Chains A and B, each alone.
Chain A
Amino acid sequence: MAGLSPSERRLQKELMSLMKEPPPGVEVDFDLAEQNLLHWIINMEGAAGTLYEGERFQLQFKFSNKYPFDSPEVTFVGNNIPVHPHIYSNGHICLSILTDDWSPALSVQSVCLSIVSMLSSCKEKQRPPDNAFYVKTCNKNPKKTKWWYHDDSV
């Protein structure tokens, strides 16, 4: 672990713990993360008994050298973006812990669990009402979006 920056040291620890005890339905692409600790791809499965059962998704995590003081940039990528009222069709996720409510005590694992639980509590698969406008006008980095968090039910 010598020669790693503090953020890389912490990411290395998180990677090891996800390898040893992966949370259900969450699987990290270890080879990719080992190559570049600041860029992870996570494969996620829709939980059984939910609207997303049997679906597979890919989450991308990008970390800055200020992690964990700076929140990771988290988006859905690949060809299956979950249809959910808080997930835009370009993969951006409206979730307060990813920006305003981020804390350095949170981790990749806790972010993944939050997203799994956000998917699981969904009652009706639909895109956010402003999807078309947002996707056309937003910055590529979701952290640059001034999110309005107004609905905790899903």
Chain B
Amino acid sequence: MGNCLKRSTTDDISLLRGSDSVRESSSEQLGPPNYQEPLPIQAASPVYHPSPSVTRSVAQLTEEEQVKIAKRIGLIQHLPTGLYDGCKKARECVICMVEFLVGDALRYLPCMHTYHMSCIDDWLMRSLTCPSCMEPVDAALLTSYETN
């Protein structure tokens, strides 16, 4: 036991020293570009798209954008989902261009267009419109509530 403890403390110190020197050298090399390249931010925290061409980490979002994205997530959760049952009306997801397979998770938009859930959710988080007919999903959802 004593041995183990002793060994682990020496290891800890060497690790700390090691990691310190790694951190220093990596920040020297990668410091400035980190702010420009989206990849390191993406690895650290999820990124959001207040509009399709804008990419931001949570920390970079303005309050207005945070509200916009929170509303968007709420709305997306209200859209019906299901598993593909082999129905012939919808055959292919136009986003990934792959045919639906029985058991695939789907999401149905109010305009009746159907996509893979993972594909359409990725798009809706950027823009609340149907990729096929460009109908705004939020407006269509409200009308469907009013008529029902």
Is A102 positioned at the interface, with any CB of B under 8 Å from its CB?
Answer: yes
B53 touches A104 (CB 8 A): no
Interface on chain A toward B: helix, strand, loop, or mixed SS? Answer: loop
CB distance from B38 to the nearest CB of A (A): 10
Q: Which residues on the A side are within 8 Å of B126 (C-beta)?
A: 69
CB distance from B113 to the nearest CB of A (A): 9
Q: Which residues on the A side are within 8 Å of B94 (C-beta)?
A: 104-105
Chain B residue at smallest Cβ distance from A65: B39
Is A46 positioned at the interface, with any CB of B under 8 Å from its CB?
Answer: no
Q: Mark A1-29, 1 if CB is under 8 A from B, else 0.
A: 00000100110011000000000000000
Question: Which of chain B's residues 108-148 have a Cβ closer than 8 Å to chain A?
Answer: 119, 122-123, 126, 129, 131-132, 134
B52 touches A102 (CB 8 A): yes
Is A56 positioned at the interface, with any CB of B under 8 Å from its CB?
Answer: no
CB distance from A145 to the nearest CB of B (A): 11
Q: How many residues of B contact A (CB 8 A)?
A: 15
A70 touches B53 (CB 8 A): yes
B134 touches A103 (CB 8 A): yes
Q: Which residues on the A side are within 8 Å of B123 (C-beta)?
A: 69, 104
Question: Which of chain A's residues 61-94 have a Cβ closer than 8 Å to chain B?
Answer: 68-71
Chain B residue at smallest Cβ distance from A106: B131
Q: Which residues on the A side are within 8 Å of B95 (C-beta)?
A: 68, 104-105
Q: How many residues of A contact B (CB 8 A)?
A: 17
B53 touches A99 (CB 8 A): yes
A103 touches B53 (CB 8 A): no
CB distance from A67 to the nearest CB of B (A): 11
Tell me which of B97, B122, B129, B132 contacts A69 (CB under 8 A). B122
Q: Which residues on the A side are within 8 Å of B129 (C-beta)?
A: 103
Chain A residue at smallest Cβ distance from B125: A69
Q: Which residues on the A side are within 8 Å of B53 (C-beta)?
A: 70-71, 99, 143
Alpha-carbon distance A9/B98, docked complex (angstroms): 9
Q: Which residues on the A side are within 8 Å of B52 (C-beta)?
A: 69-71, 102
Q: Which residues on the A side are within 8 Å of B131 (C-beta)?
A: 103-105
Q: Which residues on the B side are within 8 Å of A104 (C-beta)?
A: 94-95, 119, 123, 131
Alpha-carbon distance A105/B95, docked complex (angstroms): 6
Q: Which residues on the B side are within 8 Å of A68 (C-beta)?
A: 95
Most B Cβ at <10 Å: residue of A6, A103, A104, A105: A104
Q: Which residues on the B side are within 8 Å of A143 (C-beta)?
A: 53
CB distance from A101 to the nearest CB of B (A): 8
Known: A70-B53, A104-B123, A105-B95. 4 other contacts (CB 8 A): A9-B98, A14-B97, A70-B52, A105-B132
Q: What are some 6 contacts across the A-B interface (CB < 8 A)?
A: A10-B96, A10-B97, A71-B53, A99-B53, A103-B132, A143-B53
